[in-house]
Structure 1
């Protein structure tokens, strides 16, 4: 013990009484401390990734809502309609995380980590960073299931651009990367690479939400409609964070449609 104490005193005297040794020691210690802090920062950043991802998803949801407001504003100004506040804020977005997902069945479903306590309701649309995902089916207090676009019982009202023709998208049950574009009449001019987006007619998805692009099509002399294959814009095998879409004007739309039906 006495030897170690004397060694430490001698080391301290050498460092403090000699300029070269003092500079060398402090440079070395600064490098060691810098490396220690750098590693500490990396560890902290790793454990903070989950929180950062949650914040980024919430920010993306807010940006998507702002983008839809901007798009609606541009649309109504272009078409000389009254851009009322309710119309501009028609859709709101809730970020959710995927906890279960299937792509190999005919009727595929997705489970998300939010439910009725977070305001999630059945029949609300679900979108991802690259386009349409599906529609909420069942809801519990903390979870909800989503009918995936990869479900051959699920139809999405769509439009093909630039032709602007109204059609629908349905999954055939084969490849999870492709779906069928239905009811495009033969007089419409189609091209490989045409974009397919939601029409907005069903009130579930905002109009213009991406679905995919035309991969190939076929039209025989006997066909009334094209046979069209669409490459989906979303990779359903790697879903992580999604957005549940709430249509704030849905009840008003359903009510006016109900009144119309009663007057027939």
Structure 2
């Protein structure tokens, strides 16, 4: 207390000066309409800037929660889109009415990427969902922008995914404009591009055309983006194009994925196995 009194006594002239300055400013603002309006406009501006910075800081701390909510919403929209596309397929002949169970056979589970490889020849991805969440080996995995891979191994709370950036992974893909079907297969070099093989050179291919998952696929719903045609070449002694696709998914910035469950996959595989046995 004595120190405070000593401080006030030693700085009494300066403190009186500051008090008089504050009083003068208050009297000017109080009794002059122009300076009063200027003061309130300026103070409101800085208060608004402070509140904006404060809200931005709060929103930044909640980005993880916001991203998780968006991922869940995307999963719901993916399910609705898949059901709609299967209930009213654009390439179906007149009179074709798909079974309602068939149309709604795909469901989606949101998962967060906890480990991701992009620089190896055979890359894998680890996610934070496993058998406890209904994940099983063989399920397809997509992102908000396109195909990611297929579940390979599962533990109770984690799963390892064979990435599309894997030399042994292929996905049946269809070019939208030409309606040609081929297989997307990674060459093991650039994680941003992938080859589309087995597309006949006797069909016109358009640069910039989109490649999506085809109907000849039991793991992924049809119409999921794989990539866009970046270059098309062909050698005279070959019967197939050399097509390079720019991948739709940016694997270097992969945060959330959607594990796709085909509820009729077991039935399809069982029939296929019986067919192979008869051959």
Q: Provide TM-score, normalisation by structure 1.
A: 0.83
CA contact (8 A) 1:186 1:219 kept: no
Matched residues, number: 262
| Deviation, structure 1 residue 20 | 6.9
Q: Give a deviation string over 1:3-22, Cα, whole Å, max 9, x none.
A: 99xx8xxx8xx89xx7779x
Q: Which has the larger radius of gyration?
A: 2
| Deviation, structure 1 residue 54 | 0.7
| Counterpart-to-counterpart distance in 2, 1:48 and 1:256 | 48
CA contact (8 A) 2:116 2:126 kept: yes
Moved more, 101-110 or 29-38: 29-38
1:230 is aligned to 245
| Counterpart-to-counterpart distance in 1, 2:184 and 2:57 | 46
CA contact (8 A) 2:79 2:108 kept: yes
| Counterpart-to-counterpart distance in 2, 1:27 and 1:230 | 56
The answer to whether residue 274 in structure 2 is matched with residue 220 in structure 1 is: no
Aligned-residue RMSD, C-alpha = 3.3
Residues 32, 192 of structure 1: CA spacing in aligned structure 2 closer, same or farther, 3 A cutoff? Answer: closer
Q: Give a deviation string over 1:196-238, Cα, whole Å, max 9, x none.
A: 22123230111121111222222313x1322222222222222
2:168 is aligned to 153
2:84 to 70, 75, 85: 70
2:155 is aligned to 140
Q: Give a deviation string over 1:116-138, Cα, whole Å, max 9, x none.
A: 11111111111112211111111
| Deviation, structure 1 residue 78 | 4.8
| Deviation, structure 1 residue 244 | 0.9
The answer to whether residue 189 in structure 2 is matched with residue 171 in structure 1 is: no
2:273 is aligned to 258
| Deviation, structure 1 residue 105 | 0.6
Q: Please give the secondary structure, in 2, of the residue aligned with 1:75.
A: coil
CA contact (8 A) 2:228 2:247 kept: yes
| Deviation, structure 1 residue 149 | 0.8
Unpaired runs of 5+ in structure 1?
none
Q: Please give the secondary structure, in 2, of the residue aligned with 1:203.
A: coil
2:73 is aligned to 59
1:191 is aligned to 206
CA contact (8 A) 1:192 1:217 kept: no
| Counterpart-to-counterpart distance in 1, 2:80 and 2:116 | 29
Unpaired runs of 5+ in structure 2?
none
